Amino acid sequence: MLLGSIEAGGTKFVCAVGNENYQVQDQIQFPTTTPEETLRKTVDYFNKFKIEALSIASFGPIEIRKSSDNYGYITTTPKPNWSNTDFVGYIKKYFDIPIFWTTDVNGSAYGEYVMSTLSNEKINSLVYYTIGTGVGAGVIVNGHLIGGIGHPEMGHVLLKRHPDDLDFKGICPYHGDCLEGLVAGPTFEARLGIKGQEVATDHPVWEIMAYYAAQAALQTMLTLRPSKIVFGGGVTSEQFLQKVRIEFKKLLNDYVQVPDLDQYIVTPAVKNNGSATVGNFALANKILNE
């Protein structure tokens, strides 16, 4: 049995075919350009295989309410040309198979949850943050994705400003200094004039970023009390998370008990940012069997 995965990012699409054991059999990636060109490449790729179900984990915001006329759409995204794109409708024109539709971070969260289950970690809840070109989070509670009127938008929560960062306005076009506006990858260039990969690991900006990421983790822990918080994306590294754990411990101030932070605030179990692909295979298999 073959299952399909589309990880639709604002920068690139990663399309893969795998089996019911969530193992990649074939994979391709290409830049996210216009909807027509990018979705055409996606269809051309999957036409080479006989897949039985497909899961799409897309950048957003997206419409996940099946009762909505715009179900399956990418909605008010700042990504040029992609607003109000009928993603699922386009794919359904070419493939008469079950399709699971969710956010990119939900796909990653589900992949991390599945990997934890397969390793007998026995957890029932997990939150996955990605810090990259944008910031978002997916949430698993009792094995299920959450969201009623829509999916979580945890990259846009508001934060207390770091005292050494008060003059930075933030880069989010909607909120300025929300979480995404303060820690997404492009904030390095906005603050310092250089790209993130060129910033030394001992630069003070990392302490500022860790302070904000720790606030997000603290809000998540106090609100949802998940079994684990995972940070992925291009900005994240173990070295960065060491700073986040230090800031988290200061902010929590021993208010409630949490597990060992080295085991609680962690990098992804699936390497090379492949969590969404594993999650998509699992979600495709799930919808196939419902």
What is the pLDDT averaged over residues 13-18? 98
Whether residues 262 and 279 share a domain: the answer is: no
Whether residues 127 and 262 share a domain: the answer is: yes
108 within some domain: no
What is the pLDDT averaged over residues 12-33? 96
Confidence at residue 250, expressed as pLDDT on a 0 to 100 scale: 98
CATH of the domain at 32: 3.30.420.40
Task: Please check whether residue 258 is in contact with residue 264, taking contact to mean a CB–CB distance below 8 angstroms.
Answer: yes
Q: d(Cα 108, Cα 191) in Å, to the nearest integer?
A: 29
Confidence at residue 150, expressed as pLDDT on a 0 to 100 scale: 86
Sheet containing 125-131: order of strands = 144-145, 135-141, 125-131, 229-232, 265-266
Q: How many C-beta atoms lie closer than 10 Å to residue 212's C-beta?
A: 25
Q: d(Cα 251, Cα 218) in Å, to the nearest integer?
A: 8
72 within some domain: yes
Whether residues 236 and 152 share a domain: the answer is: yes
Higher pLDDT: 99 or 77? It is 99
pLDDT tens figures, 183-205:
999 999 999 999 999 999 999 99
Whether residues 126 and 249 share a domain: the answer is: yes
> How many distinct structural domains can be found in the chain?
2
pTM listed for this prediction = 0.93
- The alpha-carbon radius of gyration of the chain (Å, integer) is 19
Confidence at residue 117, expressed as pLDDT on a 0 to 100 scale: 86
Whether residues 278 and 262 share a domain: the answer is: no
Range of the structural domain that residue 18 is part of? 3-103+273-288
Give the pLDDT band of residue 121 (cuts 50, 70, 90). Answer: confident
114 within some domain: no
